[in-house]
Structure formats: C-alpha cells, structure tokens
Amino acid sequence: MIKYLKAIYSSLLKSKRELNNQLFGHKNYHKFVVVSQSRTGSTLLMALLNNHDNIICEGELFKNLDGKSCKQIWDNFFKNKPKKIQQVGFKLFYTHPLKGDQSVWEFIENDKRITVVHLVRKNWLRVLLSQKIGLKTKLWTENINRPHQISTEEKKVEISIKECEEAFEKAAFNEQKTRERFSGHPFLEVTYEDLSDDSDRIIQQITNVFNLNYQKVKANNKKQNSEPLEDLIINYNQLKENFQGTKWEYLFLNQ
C-alpha cells in the first residue's frame, strides 16, 4: 500500500513539474549528447552534470524504443524546461537503439549546433572485464554510501581470446567513427581515467564548452572492480602471452 501511494505521489509531482514547465518553461536551451559505450563512467558523468544548476542530462533514452519512433522520443524529451536550464542532453551508446529505428543518429549528425561529448576509456580490456563482471554479478553501479559487499573471488571471470579481439576491434572502430562522424560539431573527448582521477577538471572543461559558469559538483558513485587485472581475470596470463607483440599488447601493460 505504501509503495502504491508513493508511486501515485511521484506521478503527481511529475505531472506538476511538466505543467509548470509547459506554462513557465522555455526551449531556448542548447542540446548535447554524451556518446560512449557501457562501462566507461557514463553514469558518473551523468550524475555530475545533473548536479550542475543549469544542466539536465538524462540516461539511455534511446536504448529500447518500446514501439515509439526516435522522433517521438526526441520531441517528448526536448520540450520546455525550467528557465534556469541552459543545456539539455542525454547519453547514447554506440549500440543504441538496440533494434528498430536508428534515426536518432541522423538527428544529431544533421544538427551541427548539438555538442557531442565523447566519453572513452583508454583500456578496452578493462571495459570488457567490467561488462563481464556486471553480467555475472548483476551489479552495474555502486554508491559510496551503500557499497556492495562482494569479494574479488566472486567477481572473477574468464575471457576468451576471441572475445578480446572482437571487443578491441569494435571499440577502435566505434571510437574513430564517432570522431569522424561528429567532426563538424562542437566536440569534446574525455576519458574515463581523467574523469575518475580529476572530475573537477573534466567538468570544468565541459562547462567551458557549454558556455556555462563552472560549479563544483559531486556524485555518490563508487569506482568498481579496481583490483589488478590478474586478480579478476582467471586466464589473465594466457591472454597476456597471446597478445604479446601485437597491437593490443599495451592493454595488458597499462592497467
């Protein structure tokens, strides 16, 4: 019963916000999109951006279309927003939408005013590892106030050589394609490593591109799977030996 009442209350608040925006809001804001792949810190970046007074950043709006067209989702999202909001955007993975209408990419590509924040992670082995651990544990995010009580042993996974090769090639292709595709846009590429090490500097870079005043923002997200690679990948030594002398060797040296 309590859960039901909370749902009703939440729905009423949402309706009230939408009505206020419709009556007193505006569309004179700028649009942006965070383009990335999973396990590169996009949830952290989204949380940080949302803590800026003048930014709205939504999640994976175009992951599953649920029978809607990209235009329907686009138009429904880019409606009137509160007057203080100056930048409105969302995150979009290389693989989105998972199926169906793909025109969201054309919307972005055709509007050169949209700012593209390209979030990448230098070590693609870490990306693949994090994806595998997430699939195993079903734990995709972590909060500093509610840390997961999961051991390194429980997180250990095995990764095949073929999985590595396919993941590395796909990441290289998607990153370069994104750089080329949106070269005519306001474009900023940031790395997961820099975001993790110095989020203040990265947020300052982004707000500069957005033409906004810098605000110090924080998020409660906690870094996951920070153990050495050899402690998390069961067959790490086999993989390292296999890729020695190849173009992917550096991924096993730069942890």
**255 within 8 A of 87, measured Cβ to Cβ:** no
What pLDDT does residue 142 have? 47
- Nearest CA among 126, 119, 8, 135 for reference residue 57: 119
For 161, residues 6+ apart whose C-beta sits below 8 A from its C-beta are 238, 239, 242
Q: How many helices (H) and strands (E) does the chain have?
A: 11, 5
**pLDDT digit string, tens, across residues 172-184:** 999 999 999 999 9
* Rounded-to-integer distance, Cα 65 and Cα 77, Å: 13
What pLDDT does residue 138 have? 73
In the chain, domain spans: 25-252
What pLDDT does residue 140 have? 60
Please determine, for residue 15, whether its predicted confidence score (pLDDT) is greater than 70.
no
Please determine, for residue 153, whether its predicted confidence score (pLDDT) is greater than 50.
yes
The whole-chain average pLDDT of the chain stands at 89
Overall average pLDDT of the 36-47 stretch: 93
The pLDDT-based confidence of 146 (bands split at 50, 70, 90) is low
Joined tokens for residue 185: 């846009």
* Rounded-to-integer distance, Cα 108 and Cα 94, Å: 13
The pLDDT-based confidence of 191 (bands split at 50, 70, 90) is very high
Paired with 36 in beta bridges are 93
Please determine, for residue 103, whether its predicted confidence score (pLDDT) is greater than 60.
yes
Q: Which amino acid is at 75?
A: D
Overall average pLDDT of the 224-242 stretch: 90
pTM, two decimal places: 0.86
219 or 230, which is more confident = 230
Overall average pLDDT of the 41-51 stretch: 94
Please determine, for residue 2, whether its predicted confidence score (pLDDT) is greater than 50.
yes
Instruction: Give percent of the chain above pLDDT 70.
Output: 84
- Nearest CA among 218, 219, 226 for reference residue 255: 226
Check whether domain 25-252 has CATH 3.40.50.300, yes or no? yes
What pLDDT does residue 21 have? 66
What pLDDT does residue 227 have? 84
